[in-house]
Amino acid sequence: MNQPSQPEEPRLTPRPVDRPSVDPAEAATFGRPRGVEGAFDRLYAPGSSNGEKLITKPPAPESLAEAFGRPPGAENVVLQRPGDDNGGPVEVPEPALWSNGGDPWRDPGAAAVLGSPALEAGDDEDGDTERPRGAMLSLPEVLLGRRVKPVALALLGVICLVIGAAGGLVGWWVASTGNALTGEATISEAEAGKERAPGSVADIARRVSPAVISIEVVSGQSGSVGSGVVIDPQGYALTNNHVISLATSDPQAKITAVFTDGTRTQAKVVGTDPKTDLAVLKVAVANPTVIQIGKSADLQPGDSVIAVGSPLGLQNTVTAGIVSALHRPITAQGENGEAPVTYDAIQTDAPINHGNSGGALVDSTGALIGINSSIRTDADNGQGGSIGIGFAIPADDAIKIARALISDGQVKHADIGINAASVSADTSEGAQVLNVADGGPAARAGIAEGDVITKVGDRMVRNAPELTVAVRAHNIGDVVPVQLVRQGRPLVIDVTLSSD
């Protein structure tokens, strides 16, 4: 029994292909060229259909083809051919383009080609084949064998000289500039003595130093050193008494004067004045340099001064400073038990040390205005160095005493005939009389013990040393008014000074 057939289910149709729209700009860029239907395996040339032969280059311009092309009838002739033995060209068939010797890059359509090189393959192009050499000439044959022309020899000599000179110059330049640490220095030098104007310290020292001597005193194992100043053409020299005191106490002592030029000569003592620490020597030398004498009375504090001498045995030493003070009474202990030394000093800050004693203190003109004598030191034993406080005997007093010593061998000072001590009280300041010498000038004038002397003549008296220098500033026999205080009452007494 036939089964009834089932109705067929409807079949599904293929889905429609989604073809998006093509952008005309992209189609023009990436689409097939116009007229090409198949794949991109052929090029399109305008005016030809697909598959036709392409013309890869245009024909040469007529002018260039005429200038560089083969002439008519020379289609198979190259530009250059090797010659034969007679100089004529050799016909060599041009190799095929596909041969091993052909140019693989040759354009078969070119109007001209380059042929083979002018030399044959076996010619000596690179110089490998040895050529015969001429005979080598010895030096005598060159110079004397007349094998070389004289002009050539002269030219060769000139060339050698030029090469040698050039080599020497190069060597000198390399030697002078090769080492950065050595070479020729270029030093700027100042004119000598540019700062040594007239009146400078150097100029004064040059003029004064020959007149200043170094004094050496030797007695057995003992000795001393100091300085001196030549003040007279006959060889008289002024110095300090304490410099030559060893010679005055010992007749065997020897005094030697040493000049700046190294001359050494013996010196003799002419006279001494222990009270003012001055002495005069005479040196055995002909025509010595003499110092110019100035006036110490014209000095003022602040004036420039120069000290010349031999401090600590160092000869020809020059130091400079100023006048620190004037009329500074100085008292020092006498030598060998002698009377104390007292003088009216010039104070200076020019460095003065032991050995400067007896040397010159000069002003800005080089004139002698003082004899260096002592220093103030802060050492307990008095052996310390300079602290800028030095003292010199004024030249006015020193020359006066020197003249007396040279003429008489001794000197006398004015004396008032009292012993005094420094005092400082509420009512008075001066020198108090401790005792009065019987029959002396003070006793005859009526000065009594206990009186305080405050002025002698025009000089103020503030202490005992100043009383001594004030009296010695006058001559023996002068009548001097003395101002004093007695029991609180001021008095003025005229005193006639006598000799000490």
Report the catalytic residues: 242, 277, 357
The span from the CA of 308 to the CA of 361, in Å, is 7
Q: Are 313 and 216 in contact (CB under 8 A)?
A: no
236, 406 Cβ separation under 8 angstroms: yes
Structure tokens at 63: 């002018």
Q: Which two tokens stand for residue 203?
A: 């100029």
| Cα(369)–Cα(398) distance, integer angstroms | 9
CA distance 253 to 336: 15
Burial 144-157 (b: 16+ CB within 10 A, else e): eeeeeeeeeeeeee
**Token reading at 440:** 């002396």
Interatomic CA distance for residues 484 and 127, integer angstroms: 134
Buried b / exposed e along 350-373 (16+ C-beta atoms within 10 A): bbbbbbbbbbbbbbbebbbbbbbb
End-to-end CA distance of the chain: 198
In order, the DSSP letters of 312-331 are: GG-SSEEEEEEEEEEEEEEE
Say if residue 431 is exposed, middle or buried (CB neighbours under 10 Å; 0-12, 13-18, 19+): buried
φ, ψ dihedrals at 464, nearest 5°? -65, -45
d(CA 276, CA 38): 146
Separation of CA 329 from chain center:
46
Q: How many CB atoms lie under 10 A from the CB of residue 435? A: 11
The residues with which 146 forms a beta bridge, in sequence order, are none
Distance CA 442, CA 478 (A): 13
DSSP 421-452: EEEE-SS-EEEEEEEE-TTSHHHHHT--TT-E
Cα 139 versus chain centre, distance: 61
Spatial contact of 303 and 346, defined as CB atoms under 8 Å apart? no
